[in-house]
């Protein structure tokens, strides 16, 4: 079971809805080539700097 903190339902590329790593936007790369969890991690640890509640 995949339980992660990042928004698994958001495409890191276009921001559309993702289902099982597949983007809903047919113009998005991840629509045709579903992103793998490891691949998504690269986006997770990216631009978004510490965003803790405070
Ligand atoms: Zn997308």
pLDDT in tens, 7-25: 458 888 899 998 888 899 9
Tokens representing 21 are 């790593």
* Residue 29 pLDDT class (50, 70, 90 cuts): very high
- Gap from CA of 22 to ligand 1 centroid (Å): 8
- Gap from CA of 11 to ligand 1 centroid (Å): 5
Per the model's pLDDT, the better-predicted residue between 43 and 8 turns out to be 43
CB atoms within 10 A of CB 7: 12
pTM: 0.56
Listed in sequence order, the residues at least 6 apart from 11 whose beta carbon sits closer than 8 Å to its beta carbon are 17, 18, 23, 24, 25, 28, 30, 35
- Gap from CA of 34 to ligand 1 centroid (Å): 9
- Gap from CA of 54 to ligand 1 centroid (Å): 31
What share of the chain has pLDDT > 70, as a percent? 65
């Amino acid at each position: 079971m995949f339980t992660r903190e990042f928004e698994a339902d958001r495409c890191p590329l276009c921001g559309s809805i993702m289902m099982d790593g597949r983007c809903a936007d047919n113009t998005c790369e991840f629509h045709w080539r579903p992103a793998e969890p490891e691949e998504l991690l690269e986006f997770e640890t990216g631009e978004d700097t510490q965003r803790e509640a405070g």
